[in-house]
């Protein structure tokens, strides 16, 4: 009798854990967009042309049209189309031999239906083709909007934590 | 025989309620201490060379500024979106002070400051600017790279998480 209750409790627990992992919530979808951005911006030292082309094309799919950028530190402020953003990322990737983008401390708030505000720390490390070490860590404030069931970045701002 | 028994007891203790309570207390205590009071950190980057090296290990002492505010010369940790990645910098000026760099030397309120911890050549030129209320001015010790490429400036005290333990 006791083992029967134990099995039921284990199944319920398993069900809860499985639901938690399998159900696609909006928060998970937003987190996925950050993971994809990190994956597609990053560049392996021996990246093939096919991968380069694939990554640059896919970067464009993550952004709304238009997307507002405020990144004075890299002179990229204004309103841009997804293709312009992908082009900018492509030029940046071309000038480096390898690049790694990682996100930390991602915090997401759903301010209204279909609009999410996310703050995150972005860490970019790499090496330019001329041999210079590339290292930048910044806080980003982003807004993602949901259209046709897909979350896209509609605003990206680099927070000036240290002001010269 | 007694020693052998003690060794066995040490490595394979009996699961008594008292033992489980001790394990729980040590676990909770470690989580609170190393998670919220004295958090371990790995240094990545070269902006604090030669004081701190890339790959070094340290701790962030979060109680350091509980009853006081950072002073010039202190090494502080600045939080970004959270505290998994923080900036390690040195305070060179506090609120109300005027900070500048001339010929690579730090100048605060018109007085050149001796900085023995800066050991690499520096040729920075930065016009005077005042540190706003509630802010401090932080810079790395490695000023050998051009001023434009070094990430420094004034930061709100609210973002100072604590100080480096050593």
- ipTM of model: 0.85
The string of DSSP letters for A68-135 reads: EEEEGGGTEEEEE-HHHHHHHHHHHHHTEEEEEEEEEEEEEEEEETTEEEEEEEEEEEEEETTS-EEE
Give me the tens of pLDDT residue by residue for chain B, a chain 166 residues long. 678 888 888 888 888 899 899 999 999 999 999 999 999 999 998 899 999 999 999 999 999 999 999 999 999 999 999 999 999 999 999 999 999 999 999 999 999 999 999 999 999 999 999 999 999 999 999 999 899 889 999 999 999 999 999 9
Over its C-alpha atoms, chain B yields an Rg (Å, rounded) of: 22
Q: Any CB–CB contact under 8 A between A164 and chain B?
A: yes
The mean pLDDT value of chain A amounts to 93
H-run or E-run covering A163: none
The CA distance from B84 to the nearest CA of chain A, in Å, is 6
pLDDT at residue A2 above 80? no
- The pLDDT assigned to A1 comes to 60
pLDDT at residue A122 above 70? yes
Mutate to test the interface with A, among B85, B143, B156 (most CBs of A within 10 A): B85
The CA distance from B80 to the nearest CA of chain A, in Å, is 6
Within a domain: A97: yes
Q: What is the CATH number of the domain that holds A101?
A: 3.10.450.50
Span A23-43, mean pLDDT? 94
Are A137 and B80 within 8 A, CB to CB? yes
Confirm whether pTM is higher than 0.90.
no
Residue B124 has phi, psi (to 5 degrees) of -65, 145
Are A163 and B85 within 8 A, CB to CB? no
Which residues on adjacent β-strands are paired with residue B94? B136
Please say whether the beta carbons of A29 and A151 come within 8 A: yes
Q: What residue in B sits closest to A164 (Cα-Cα)? A: B153
Question: Which percentage of chain A shows pLDDT scores above 90?
Answer: 75
- The pLDDT assigned to A110 comes to 97
Within a domain: A164: no
- The pLDDT assigned to A75 comes to 86
* Helix and strand totals (H; E) in chain A: 4, 6
- The pLDDT assigned to A62 comes to 97
Question: CA A34 to CA B81: how far, in whole Å?
Answer: 15
Within a domain: A66: yes
Q: B76: alpha, beta or left, given left = phi > 0 and alpha = psi -120 to 50?
A: beta
Partner-chain residue, chosen from A120, A135, A164, that has the shortest CB–CB distance to B81: A120
CATH superfamily of domain region B43-164: Umud Fragment, subunit A (2.10.109.10)
Total count of domains within chain A: 1
Within a domain: A140: yes
Range of the domain at A137: 2-159
Are B153 and A164 within 8 A, CB to CB? yes
Span A129-145, mean pLDDT? 93
Q: What residue in A sits closest to B159 (Cα-Cα)? A: A161
The CA distance from A112 to the nearest CA of chain B, in Å, is 22
Are A106 and B81 within 8 A, CB to CB? yes
- The pLDDT assigned to B125 comes to 96
User: pLDDT tens digits, residue range A65-116?
Assistant: 999 999 988 889 999 999 999 999 999 999 999 999 999 999 999 999 999 9
Within a domain: A50: yes
Mutate to test the interface with A, among B81, B89, B93, B140 (most CBs of A within 10 A): B81
Q: Any CB–CB contact under 8 A between A2 and chain B?
A: no
């Amino acid at each position: 009798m006791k083992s029967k209750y134990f099995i039921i409790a284990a199944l319920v627990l398993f069900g809860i854990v499985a639901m938690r992992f399998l159900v696609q919530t909006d928060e998970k979808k937003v987190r996925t967009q950050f993971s994809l951005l990190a994956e597609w911006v990053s560049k392996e030292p021996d990246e093939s042309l096919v991968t380069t082309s694939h990554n640059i094309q896919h970067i464009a799919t993550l952004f709304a049209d238009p997307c507002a950028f405020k990144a004075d530190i890299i002179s990229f402020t204004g309103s841009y189309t997804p293709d312009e953003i992908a082009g900018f990322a492509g030029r940046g990737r071309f000038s480096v031999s390898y690049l790694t983008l990682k996100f930390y401390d991602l915090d997401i708030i759903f301010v209204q239906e279909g609009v999410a505000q996310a703050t995150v720390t972005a860490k970019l490390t790499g090496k330019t083709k001329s041999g210079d070490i590339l290292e930048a860590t910044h806080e980003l404030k982003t807004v993602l909007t949901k259209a046709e069931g897909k979350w896209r970045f509609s605003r990206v701002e680099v927070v000036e934590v240290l002001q010269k | 025989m007694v020693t052998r028994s003690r060794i066995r007891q040490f490595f394979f203790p009996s699961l008594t309620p008292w033992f489980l309570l001790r394990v729980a207390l040590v676990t909770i205590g470690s989580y609170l201490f190393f998670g919220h009071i004295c958090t371990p950190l790995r240094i990545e980057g070269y902006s604090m060379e030669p004081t701190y090296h890339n790959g070094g290990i340290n701790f962030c002492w979060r109680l350091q500024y509980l009853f006081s505010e950072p002073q010039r010369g202190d090494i502080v940790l600045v939080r970004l979106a959270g505290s998994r990645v923080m900036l390690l910098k040195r305070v060179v000026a506090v609120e109300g002070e005027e900070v500048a760099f001339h010929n690579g030397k730090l100048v605060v309120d018109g007085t050149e400051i001796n900085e023995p911890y800066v050991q690499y050549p520096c040729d920075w030129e930065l016009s005077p600017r005042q540190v706003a209320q509630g802010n401090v001015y932080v810079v790395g010790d490695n000023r050998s790279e051009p001023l434009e490429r070094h990430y420094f400036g004034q930061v709100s005290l609210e973002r100072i998480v604590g100080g480096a333990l050593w």
